[in-house]
Every structure is written in C-alpha cells, then in structure tokens.
Amino acid sequence: MLANIGDWLNERFGWRSVWEAIFLRKIPHVNWLYTLGSATLFVAVNQAITGILLTLYYVPTPDHAYDSVVYITTQLPMGWFIRGLHHWGASAMVILTVAHLLRVFFYGAYKFPREVTWMTGVILLIVVIGFGFTGYLLPWDQRAYWATTVGTRIVGVAPVVGDWLLRVARGGDELSAVTLARFFGTHVWVLPAALIILVGMHLYLVIRNGISAVPGKDE
Amino acid sequence: MGESDNKEEKINRSDFMKATIAGIGGLIGIAYGLPAVAYVIGPAAKQGSSDWIQLGSVNKIEMNTPTLFKAVVETQTGWIKSEEEISAYVLTENGQDYIVMSNVCTHLGCRVRWVAEQGEFFCPCHNGVFSRDGSVVSGPPPRPLDRFESKVEAGILYVKRGG
Amino acid sequence: MKKQEQQEYMEKYKKAKAEGVPFFPDIIFKDIVVSLLILIILVLLAYFIGAPVEARANPNDASYTPRPEWYFLFLFQMLKYFPGKLEVVGAMILPTLFIGLLLVLPFLDKSPKRHFLKRPFASLMAVGVLLGIVGLTLLALNAAPTPQTTVVIDKAADLYAKNCANCHGPTIDVPAGVDLHQIIAAGNHQGMPAWGGDLSTDEIDMLVGFILSPNGSALFTRECAGCHKNAIQATGNPIELQRVFDEGKAYPAHKDQDVTDWKKSLNVDEQNALLNFLAAPDGQRLFVINCSGCHGEGIAFKGSKEELRKLIVDGGHQLTMPGWKGTLSTDDLDTLANYVTDPQGYPAGTKLFGIYCATCHGDKVPVAPDKESALTMIGSGGAHITMPVWGDILTSDQVDALVAYTLESGSETGIIVGAKLFAENCTFCHGKYGEGGLNPTFAGDTIAPISSPNYLKTRDDTTIRNIIAEGQTFGMPPFASSYGGTLNDDQIAALVAFIRNWEIIPPIIPDIPATPTANPTATPGTTSPGSGEVSFADQVQPIFQSRCIACHNSSSGQAGFDASTYQAVMTSGDSGPQIVAGDAANSPLITLLQTATGFMPPMGKLSDDDIQIIVEWINAGALDN
C-alpha cells in the first residue's frame, strides 16, 4: 500500500532519481577536513533559524532596538540561548568559511573543473563578512554604535566618491535611525537572498562536479 | 565466505551510521525546537499579573454614595513600560462591605458618570442608566457594571486587576 | 591546463569516485557528527559567556573606544601602518586587490598540480597571508584596551569632550604662563563663555590638567582611576605626588592597596605626564597650592627669569634670611618687629616690610608671637622655614609655569594689584566687596552692587574699563589719567581683572540688612502689617531707595518712572501713573514687581514681604504718610 503511494508519487515527482543522484552518488575517500563545508552550511542554517526567531521580537529603531535586545536576552525564556547561538554562530561562520577556503586552497580543489564553485565560494565569504558587519550594529549598544561609526568611516576613505559613499552607507552624515533600518534590511533581506542564491549555485556545482579527491603526493 | 562476511560488516556499518544520523538529527532538532517553542510562546505563557492594586483610603468613601477612585498601574508589555489608569466607583452601605464597580459602561465601553441628583449612573453615549449598585435601570446596557474583587487592609482599599 | 590533462584528471577522478563510498550515509555521518560538535560548542559559549549587551548607544559619548568585531581587527591594525593619505591603500586598495586575487585564483594558477607541496609558491604565499592576518590580529588584541579598562571612563577627557572640543578641537596649544584655570572659569571676551558657573573648581582643575597633559589623563585613567574614581580624589599637591612615586607601597594611603611601583613601570616621560595632569603646569594653581602657604598671594620678584627658576629649583639652602641688625636702624627694626607681631596695630611697618621683606615673604606677613622673638629673628636672621627643593618635586613644565606666573603676578598687573587699587580708590562708594550702598556723593541715590553675577554678566571688560576711565553720572569721577584721573592703563586693567574675578569667586558679603525696617515690631516673613499701618516714609520709601532708585530716579528715570519722592512715585511713568491708590491689583507697578523678569530689578525679584508692604500701602490708599 505504502509502496504503491510511493510509486504513484514518484511517477509525478521523480524524487527517487533525485535521491539517487544526490544521496547515493559515490564520493571518493575523503578525510575529516572535508566536513568543513557542511559545517559552514550547518552554522548558516543555525544563523537562519536563530535569526528568524530574533526578528520575532527585535525592533530596528533607535528607540526600541536596545530595549528589545535586552528584553530578548534577559526576559524571554530561552532568549539568551537563541541570541547566544546567533552571536557565537556569527564568529563560527567566519572561522568555518575561512577554514573551508583554506582546505580547498591547499588541496588544489579550486582547479578544473571546479573554478566557478571556488568563485561562488569567494563571493559567499564576502556575504558572510557583510552579515557580520551589518549585524554588529543591530543591538544599538555602545560598541555597536561606535564600531559601526568607525567601520563606515573606512568607506569614506575612497578617493573622490568617498564622502558620497559614506553618506550612502549611513543614510546621512551620522549614524541614525536610517542607518539602523538599512543595516537591518540588508542583514535580514538582501544578504540572505544573496546567500540562498549563492549557496544554491555552490551546492549544485559541488554535486555536479563531485567532491574533489584528496590529491596524492604525485599530483 | 570471507566476502559475505565483509558484506555483512558493511551493511552493519551502514545501518549503524544511518541510525546515528537519525539520532543526532533528532537531537539537533530538539535542541532548536524546544527552546524555539519556549521562546515563541514565552510572552503568552506569562500570566496576566493579578496583583492587588491600592485604590485609596476607605475613609474617603461616603456611605451610600458611589465614590470614584483612580489608581495608576504600571504595566510592562515586552520592553515597553506604560502607565494605565484604573477608575472605579466604590459603594458601601454599611462601612464594612465594599462594592467596587468599573466605570466602563457594559454597552459600548463609554465612561459612566454618577449623577447625584438622580442617584443613578448615567452613560452619556446611549443613555444607559445604572442604579447605585450597578444594575441596569434602563437603556441598552446588556448587564450590570463589572465589579472588581476587593479587600480592605489597614483602612486601605485594594482591588484585583483583571479580576 | 591542456585538454589532455583535463581528460586525464577526469578519468582519474572517475576511478577514485568508483572506489569511494556513498554520500549517504557515509559522508553525511561525518558531517552530522561535526555539526553536533559545533552545536555543542555554540551552546556552551552561549551558556557560559552569552551574548554581551553593553550600555545603550550614546552618540554624545566620544570617549568610548570603538572595538570592531574580532575578525575585522586585522584590518584595523593594518590601517595603523597607512597614515594620512596612504590610508586609502590600507582601507581600500589592499582589501579589494586581495579579494580580486582570490576570485580569479583559478585562472592565475592553471597548472595541473594539486598537491600543496607541488606548488610551493602558492602555498608559501597563502601561509604568509595567513600568518600576516593572525599576527595583525594578535597585535591588535594586545593594543586594544581590554573591556575592563574601557569601563573606567577618562573623566577629564569626557569633560573636555563635552565642554571644549566643539570649539577647540581635540587639543589646545597653550602658551606658557597663561592662567588657564582663570580663563576657563571666567571665559574670555572673544566669545568663550565663563565655565565658572557650570563647572566646579575641581572640574576646572581636571580640565586644565587634561589640556596641558592629555597623556597624563590617559595614564591616570589606566593606572589610578580604578581606585580614584575622579582625578580630584587623588591629591593635587606635588609634594604628596612625589612621595607616592618615591615610596610606592610604603606610601601610607597605598599601604594595603595592590599598587604598582610606578617609578619602575612608568618611564620618565610618563611620570612627568602623570604629574603634569594631576598638578597641571598652570602657574596660578601651582602657586596657590605650593607657595601661598608661605608667600601669600604673590611675590614681587624683581630678578630675571633664570634667577627665579634657579631659586625655585634649588629651594632649601637658598633660604637663609640675612641678619638685619647691621643693615637697619634700631628704629626700623623696632617698627618691623611691632609690625610682624601685630600687622593691623602697627600699619607704619607696611612700607618697611614692602622694601626689605616682601621680595621673599610676598605679601604674607609672618606673624611673630611676641615682639622679643620678632626682634631676635629679624636681627639675627638665619634659616627658619625651609623652602622645599622644588627641582626634585616639580616637573620642568611645572617649574616653567610657576616662574612665568610668579613674574607675571609680581608685575604691575594682575588681581592682587587690582585688589589694592580697588581698596584705595573704590571702596568708599562701592563698599569693600563692591556691594554698593547709599551714594555718599549724591543724596538720595543708591549705588547698585557691582560684584553681583548679574552686573558682571551684563558688562564686558571694555565697558567696565570705560566706566572706570571716564566716570559716571551720580558722582563717579573719571579715573584714567587721560581723563584727568590718577590711574594709568595698566592699573585700570588690573582693576578690571580684579572686578572680573568676582565672577569666579563671588565676594562673601557680610549680612547687612538690605532694607532698613522702620517698624521693628513687625516680624518679617510671617504677617504683613494690617491696612492703614503702612507708612510710605518709613517702610515703602526705603524699599524704593534700596531697590529702585538706582535706575528710576529724577535724572535718568528708566521708563519715565521716578521712585525718589512720593509725588514722583504717584505721577511719573511713560505709560501713565504706576499706582492706582486703593487698588493694588490694578496698579501696573505691582504687576511688574510680581512678574519681575529679565533685568528688572537687576538684583532679582523683590522679596514677597517687600512686595506685600507696597501692596498693603497701595490698598490703604497710597497715602503720603
């Protein structure tokens, strides 16, 4: 009976061939360093889950941002846990992304036929750094405010268009409600959209080209 | 012989890994799921506090005349603190038992006023009239004025919020 | 990579894949184990360290030291090596270049070699970049103040940021010899406000310390602020400060404290910076703290700057008083001895003291217990009180400031000189404290106080200078020599400085009843006299005299109102009579007095009792009684 339903659905979805293509494909013998990529993905999912949960209470305005973060951390049941995972997940994300990049580099895995996989990976690293930078402002506490003040100032160093870029980054001359709103928007909409698209491409390419083998000494 | 052993071993290993994946997967799911549920339902699970609110001294209450009391209650919803004013009419007929009535009309929520000449509560919105003890005399109100649970301690009248 | 090499790779990979394991469950098993491990680490971090929340963002708190998240630290550290115009290299060009290189890496490195030992150049480069980033991060971690120390705010810097930085920018260059404390307290008349009203003396001292030694302020915050919450809680006495350095743990107040041996842990420059912060090289303050105990308010030192400097630095042994027996006549000695025993009783000694003693003693007269010992002391001389060897105690900056101030204050300008001139020329009319009073040269006129905050705030130095120089109506003569007076420009400048100084240190005026009350039986402040009992001459007129007549008089009646006589009070006024007899409520005068705002009257609203007296008087018919 169950098998019948399965067959019926398979005729329409074709999920068995997908399953076979993805999960039953053969992988060369690899070592534990090859888990870094999936670990990064795991932490990214962690960031997504905890991040979505945080937006249930967080309010991105200077009036409420700090209070709502304090409320999440101190008043809500498990709020400290969700925020703690998100906070430390951010650092883990950076560490794991870089570690994954190093593994790929030293194993020469960016070479034919995986050049594009590598390039999407490098863009993903930039996205991750963007997440870190925009997310840092959101609690609207002293270190958020001042670190972002200094951080955005770096943009202003650019020749000719520096001042203009600085104003665009901050949404004005100074850090303000506008800055907070656009950092929040970037952090929860722009960057996640970019992340999903890039991770999708990255994974598709990994599956299509296969996971690289550990190169031998003579390779 | 050896080959079949090898195969069996492989199958056992594979089953073990599958079981472990399911186990760890479940564990991770629980690690996120349970805190997430607690986190989401947190504010709802918090019981509306039914603290006793101090209304004022009973000495101020005139016998047989509803007296209006106002008390400011500080409430915190989420991270926003707000002050709410509670108004209530207090009636006593013997100086022992107190009836504490909401001054909100049971019809559409306007504020009722005590009109001493008539000895009745009067709602200005749709001419609802309540008697001294809050029961409906005339007009559209569907039920008597709501009452608060109250108590007197050391000459001070308290009411229970939301009660 | 050539086509052939690509094909070779693909074939090899195919083989490796065929020998491999299925993705599920083999690979996923490893992945999920690692994921669980990471989750456990994250949970532990969240539980034991948590996500920090600092104080709410405060855009006005410029003293906060910003720290970027740790993974940006290396970038921040790198920026330190690209100062000024080069900053764009560190901030933009290098990072962009680096990311660009990473992006196109597969096209730069097209060799078929994959093992890292087979491509030593790329591997070494990567290791180099990695070590660089780690190294820079470590450097930044070492340089960045730990969170604990940033909690202690540099209070002086904070004060500076709040009050001065808007106009003066991050630092102020102060020429030597400037009385900075005075300038901050009184402002200057190029638009700098007087801070004396808003900041305490201690806070001004702190600011001066910060301006003259910002590094010292930072050092204080680092070394001392843990215990001394305010710079002012630590001592500003250089002798004590030097002891702290010299004695270390043995210094009594530091006995049970966990203190560092600053003499070793700080280099000489740092020690000086710290001392300069706590006892700022501000001549006036240094003199007050260190010298005035023996020398009074100033020393009229006539020698050169170098001589004075040497005198101060050497201290001690220089200070042997010569025996005056042979030099002075017996009469002179006698006069001096009398003078130092009782300066007030024998004013005749002032001149002698000024000639022979003031060079060292300043204007502080050492008081002897009796004439005998005074005679012996003056006659034989010798060391009595030893002056400390200031060279060991003060930093060189401090000595410079002290020298500059002493010379400046000894010259014919300055507040001390001004005080003397004021006493000689002004006190007769303006009172000892500038409190004013009845005008002795112009009957019926009252001189308003010139030491009141209102008076001083509404007149700048030029105005006061002109008033003194040119005189005023109501009998104040011109004082400037150019107008036929007796004072030269320097002396007038000194007077102005002295008067302006009241704004910082208001004179304490002995409590003289301002309103002479003719009705001694009336208890002030409780009940007012009943109707019919109020006398114009005895009760109302004195109020007018003391509070109104300065402006509202017959010659210059402001708003046409003249409060000098009964007749004038009842009839004068540009907008008609100010008093409606019998109806105080409708008398414009009462409305004006009750709502007194702005400059009317200059010394503030009349007391309720005074107003009540006038009200009663009007209600009783405003009689000339």
Q: Which residues of B touch C25 (CB under 8 A)?
A: 14, 17-18, 21
CA dist B25 → B17, B34, C125, C262, C442 (Å): 12, 14, 40, 59, 103
Q: Within a 10 A sphere around the Cβ of A109, how many other Cβ atoms?
A: 20
Predicted local distance difference test score (pLDDT) of residue C525:
40
For residues A171 and A165, give the distance between their C-alpha atoms in angstroms, rounded to a whole number: 9
Residue A124: pLDDT band by 50, 70, 90 thresholds? very high
Question: How does C533-556 read in b/e, with b if 16+ C-beta sit within 10 Å?
Answer: ebbbeebbbbbbbbbbbbbbbeee
Residue C126: pLDDT band by 50, 70, 90 thresholds? very high
The DSSP H or E segment spanning C197 is: none
For residues B59 and C236, give the distance between their C-alpha atoms in angstroms, rounded to a whole number: 61
The DSSP H or E segment spanning C303 is: none
C442 in Cβ contact with C475 (< 8 Å): yes
CB contact B42 to A (< 8 Å): yes
Predicted local distance difference test score (pLDDT) of residue C528:
43
At C153-205, the pLDDT tens digits run: 677 777 777 777 767 777 777 766 566 777 776 666 566 766 656 666 667 77
Top pLDDT among A79 and C110 is at A79
Residue C461: pLDDT band by 50, 70, 90 thresholds? confident
Predicted local distance difference test score (pLDDT) of residue C362:
67
C219 in Cβ contact with C228 (< 8 Å): no
Measure CB to CB from residue C26 to each of B17, B27, B31 and give the nearest one: B17
Structure tokens that stand for C570 in this block: 């009842």
Mean pLDDT value across residues A19-44: 93
C-alpha closest to that of C29 among C18, C37, C41, C17: C37
A124 CB burial (10 A radius; 0-12, 13-18, 19+): buried
Question: How does C456-478 read in b/e, with b if 16+ C-beta sit within 10 Å?
Answer: beebeeeebbebbbebeebebeb
Mutation site for C-interface testing, chosen from A122, A136, A180, A211 by largest number of C Cβ within 10 Å: A122
Residues, chain C: 625
CB contact B79 to A (< 8 Å): yes
Q: CATH code for B52-160?
A: 2.102.10.10
Chain A CA closest to residue B35: A78
Q: Which residues of A touch B43 (CB under 8 A)?
A: 76
Structure tokens that stand for B39 in this block: 């986190």
At C63-93, the pLDDT tens digits run: 788 888 888 888 888 888 888 788 888 888 9
At A126-172, the pLDDT tens digits run: 999 999 999 999 999 998 999 999 889 888 888 888 889 999 999 99
Q: Which residues of B touch A70 (CB under 8 A)?
A: 79
Say yes or no for a CB contact (<8 Å) between B79 and A76: no
Say yes or no for a CB contact (<8 Å) between B78 and A81: no
Give the ipTM of the model, two decimals please. Answer: 0.95
Mutation site for A-interface testing, chosen from C12, C42, C151 by largest number of A Cβ within 10 Å: C42
CB contact B32 to A (< 8 Å): yes
Mean pLDDT value across residues C237-262: 73
At C405-452, the pLDDT tens digits run: 777 766 545 677 788 788 777 877 787 778 777 777 666 777 878 888
Q: Is the pLDDT of residue C393 over 60?
A: yes
C247 in Cβ contact with C210 (< 8 Å): no
The DSSP H or E segment spanning B33 is: helix B2-45
State whether the Cα torsion B134-B136-B138-B141 is positive or negative: positive
Mean pLDDT value across residues A120-131: 97
Mean pLDDT value across residues C476-493: 78
Which chains, if any, share at least 3 CB pairs under 8 A with chain B?
A, C
Nearest chain C Cα distance for residue B87, angstroms? 36
For residues A52 and A145, give the distance between their C-alpha atoms in angstroms, rounded to a whole number: 23
Which chains, if any, share at least 3 CB pairs under 8 A with chain C?
A, B
Measure CB to CB from residue C36 to each of B17, B18, B27 and give the nearest one: B27
Nearest 10 degrees: Cα torsion C516, C522, C525, C528: -110
A169 in Cβ contact with A152 (< 8 Å): yes
Name all contacts of C550-553 with Cβ < 8 Å and 24+ positions apart. Answer: C550/C445, C550/C446, C550/C447, C550/C448, C550/C602, C551/C601, C551/C602, C553/C444, C553/C445
Residue A95: pLDDT band by 50, 70, 90 thresholds? very high
Question: Phi/psi zone of residue A76: left (φ > 0), alpha (ψ -120 to 50 degrees), beta?
Answer: beta
Mutation site for C-interface testing, chosen from B11, B24, B39 by largest number of C Cβ within 10 Å: B24
% pLDDT > 70, chain A: 100
Predicted local distance difference test score (pLDDT) of residue C150:
40
Predicted local distance difference test score (pLDDT) of residue B36:
95
Say yes or no for a CB contact (<8 Å) between A91 and C34: no
At C310-332, the pLDDT tens digits run: 777 777 655 566 677 777 777 77
Top pLDDT among A120 and B108 is at A120
Structure tokens that stand for A10 in this block: 């398979």
% pLDDT > 70, chain C: 76
Top pLDDT among C540 and A184 is at A184
Say yes or no for a CB contact (<8 Å) between B42 and A77: yes
Mean pLDDT value across residues C19-42: 94
CA–centroid distance for B19 within its chain? 48
B157 in Cβ contact with B98 (< 8 Å): yes
Say yes or no for a CB contact (<8 Å) between C36 and B24: yes
CA dist B27 → A51, A127, B34, C35 (Å): 20, 30, 11, 11
User: How confident is the prediction for chain C on average, in pLDDT?
Assistant: 76
Say yes or no for a CB contact (<8 Å) between B28 and C33: no
Q: Is the pLDDT of residue C149 over 50?
A: no
Interface of A with B (CB under 8 A): 46, 49, 53, 56-57, 64, 67-68, 70-71, 75-79, 81-82
B25 in Cβ contact with C32 (< 8 Å): yes
For residues C132 and C94, give the distance between their C-alpha atoms in angstroms, rounded to a whole number: 13
User: A36-45, C465-474, C509-518 — which is least confidently predicted?
Assistant: C509-518
B121 in Cβ contact with B114 (< 8 Å): yes
Say yes or no for a CB contact (<8 Å) between C26 and B20: no
Say whether B91 sits in a helix, a strand or coil.
Answer: strand
C490 in Cβ contact with C412 (< 8 Å): yes
Q: Any idea where the domains of chain B sit in the sequence?
A: 1-46, 52-160
Say whether B101 sits in a helix, a strand or coil.
Answer: strand
For residues C51 and A74, give the distance between their C-alpha atoms in angstroms, rounded to a whole number: 11
A161 CB burial (10 A radius; 0-12, 13-18, 19+): exposed
C-alpha closest to that of C464 among C483, C481, C450, C454: C450
At A97-115, the pLDDT tens digits run: 999 999 999 999 999 899 9
